[in-house]
Structure 1
Amino acid sequence: MDWIATKLDWNRIRAFLATAEAGSLSAAARALGLTQPTLGRQIAALERELGVALFERAGRGLVLTPTAGALLDHVRTMGEAAGRLALAATGQSQRIEGAIRITATEACAAHVLPPIIARLRATHPGITVDIIATDRTADLLRREADIAIRNLDPREPELIARKVGEDRGRPYATPGYLSKLGHPRGWDDLAQAEFVAFGKTSDFIEGMRALSLPVTAQQVPVRVDSHLVHWELVKQGAGIGFNTEAVGDAEPRVCRVLPDTAPIVFPIWLVTHRELHTSRRVRVVFDLLADALSSQH
């Protein structure tokens, strides 16, 4: 019997309970939002699992077999327990407390999120925050995170996305390094410049060529996988590096390399899973992030 209990499918048990209470497959199917053939298959599967017949036909309706009648009270108890579980889960989801996982790039996590998280904790002290600082795109469908801050519009229909602003990026370097280059005024003046690349050198070169700057591998003597290390190298005069205007302009040790050129503009998206957006905790954090990020851009 214990083996049977571990194998029982709640959907099939629910189909049995609904049919027992409705008295017909058609009425039970309407109550559960299923088709009649689907409901019939679930009941037939449950009969095979239990090794007993559950219903007998009586005219156009169904009546319980004696065995099914003996099981019905147990099944009703299971249904009541499931209802209490659903209510408890709903209540928990409406409480603004518990853990929240936010994923963002390392740069965003270090330079943008700290004051926002401080505000979140001050407003909702019952919420604990797990920040996943990574440049890898976390899989929200697999619950690797609850909320993501991204620069690309997600295409998955299961995700909810809100564009909360646009960021502007520029090349930065120390005044001392720029003096060695003769204070360049345009991209063409950077033919002899050296860059600190983030990520793969080939990807960085491809990105520079998209800006009509034919950078060579010889111009990228330093490459790192960390945004924070990348920015520290730029501040120490190791070469030219890219950052957002908010971060770059606030750093006194560097300046814009090409102050008169247009910035690189990229969107900021806030993303969560459609199911998670029904949780009050996730919704509150999502809206707070959206408000804070929108006010910064």
Structure 2
Amino acid sequence: MDWDKLRIFHAVASAGSLTHAGDSLHLSQSAVSRQIRALEESLNTTLFHRHARGLILTEQGELLFEATRSMSKRLEAASARIRDSEEEVFGELRVTTAHGFGSLWLAPRLAKLYSKYPDLNIDLMLEERVLDLPMREADVAIRMKEPSQADLIRKRLMTVRMRLYASHQYLEQFGTPHSPDDMREHRLICQGTSSTQVSAGASMVQWLLGHDITSRLNVNNYFGVLQCVKNHLGVGVLPDYIVASEPDLVRVLPDVESAEVPVFLAYPEELRQSKRIAAFRDFVVEEIQEHRRNLEAQTSPDD
């Protein structure tokens, strides 16, 4: 099968348009159309339904597009390994993690990574959905449980617990709860139990709701919960990694917390030698070590 025709087919299938594909390939629309027709003739099948608004893949076209998509991802992996054979760290690195960890812990620290590697381009994908690393939906993932996918290198980074926090202003206005039953007099801010979240957080919320809390504010991610707590709306269930960067927050009911949630970094085995992966992994490990030191300094008694 003609590789050049497959490359043109993949561009057309991705763009859904001969014109847009031609622009990306620097070919005329007629040249792209001729190549598609030639490919269809060689396969003795129709790959696209042609409509006024664009092109739609036929069933046979979908099968071929799935194959070219897989080929494209494998070529990207090979390209990444070739580029990383040099000493410099540069190019695109696709990082995926959950909304809360990505927006509250990772994103505020990325300036340090960029200052060290200014030619690195981070594509940060905040997803509760677990992306397929072996199929190169992302290069590296940070997840709140050990990845189950095969052919991954994984490293346990830290553990997280969900705890209760409120702002100074809220507690001055509404008082501080001293027992779970006192939470009946307060608004609980949390992820809804039907939201995608770690099971430890969901279990903690269910337990708290068993104490007849009548006022509740549900938000579908921890970033939103944090904003509500900072604006004095109630007592929020939040991961403990936010504490160092949010000095206005006060921990409430210190005996109440979730089970430990492990945090793992993972990447495909085929990227073991990637210098971009190594640079990112080392950066995250260093930041976690500094994070721990800051927490210990905050919790240790004054001399």
Which TM-score applies when normalising by structure 1?
Answer: 0.61
Q: Which residue of 2 aligns with 1:183?
A: 176
Q: 1:214 to 1:100 in 2, by over 3 A?
A: same
Q: 2:242 aligns with which of 240, 247, 261?
A: 247
* Separation (CA, whole Å) in 1 of partners of 2:226 and 2:154: 29
Shift of 1:171: 0.7
- Structure 2 unaligned blocks of 5 or more: 5-76, 293-303
Q: Which residue of 1 aligns with 2:73?
A: none
Q: Which letter maps to 1:290? A: V
Shift of 1:248: 3.5
Q: Which letter maps to 1:111? A: L
- Kindly name which structure, 1 or 2, has the bigger radius of gyration based on alpha carbons: 1
Q: 1:175 to 1:138 in 2, by over 3 A?
A: same
Q: 1:158 to 1:199 in 2, by over 3 A?
A: farther
The superposition leaves residues 123-167 of structure 1 with CA deviations (integer Å, 9 ceiling, x where unpaired) of 222211111123332222332211111110112221111001122
Q: 2:121 aligns with which of 105, 123, 128?
A: 128
The superposition leaves residues 82-109 of structure 1 with CA deviations (integer Å, 9 ceiling, x where unpaired) of xxxx998754232321100111222222
Count of paired positions? 218
Q: Which residue of 2 aligns with 1:281?
A: 276
* Separation (CA, whole Å) in 2 of partners of 1:119 and 1:175: 30
Are 1:193 and 2:189 matched, yes or no?
Answer: no
Contact 1:186 1:261 in 2 (8 A): no
Are 1:109 and 2:105 matched, yes or no?
Answer: no
Moved more, 282-291 or 98-107: 282-291
Contact 1:208 1:214 in 2 (8 A): no
The superposition leaves residues 62-119 of structure 1 with CA deviations (integer Å, 9 ceiling, x where unpaired) of xxxxxxxxxxxxxxxxxxxxxxxx9987542323211001112222222322354222
Root-mean-square deviation (Å): 3.6
Q: Which residue of 1 aligns with 2:157?
A: 164
Residue aligned with 2:253, SS: coil
* Separation (CA, whole Å) in 2 of partners of 1:182 and 1:267: 33
Q: 1:92 aligns with which of 70, 83, 106?
A: 83
Are 1:140 and 2:149 matched, yes or no?
Answer: no
Contact 1:178 1:257 in 2 (8 A): no
* 1:1-297 correspondence to structure 2 within 5 Å: 5=2, 90-95=81-86, 96-178=89-171, 182-200=175-193, 207-208=203-204, 211=207, 214=210, 218-220=214-216, 222-248=217-243, 250-261=245-256, 264-297=259-292
* Separation (CA, whole Å) in 1 of partners of 2:203 and 2:282: 33
* Separation (CA, whole Å) in 1 of partners of 2:240 and 2:174: 22
The superposition leaves residues 182-203 of structure 1 with CA deviations (integer Å, 9 ceiling, x where unpaired) of 5222223223432122244588
Q: 1:172 to 1:122 in 2, by over 3 A?
A: same
Shift of 1:273: 1.3
* Separation (CA, whole Å) in 1 of partners of 2:80 and 2:250: 52
Q: 1:202 to 1:5 in 2, by over 3 A?
A: closer
- Structure 1 unaligned blocks of 5 or more: 8-85
Contact 1:94 1:281 in 2 (8 A): no
Shift of 1:275: 1.3
Contact 1:249 1:256 in 2 (8 A): no
Contact 1:116 1:289 in 2 (8 A): no
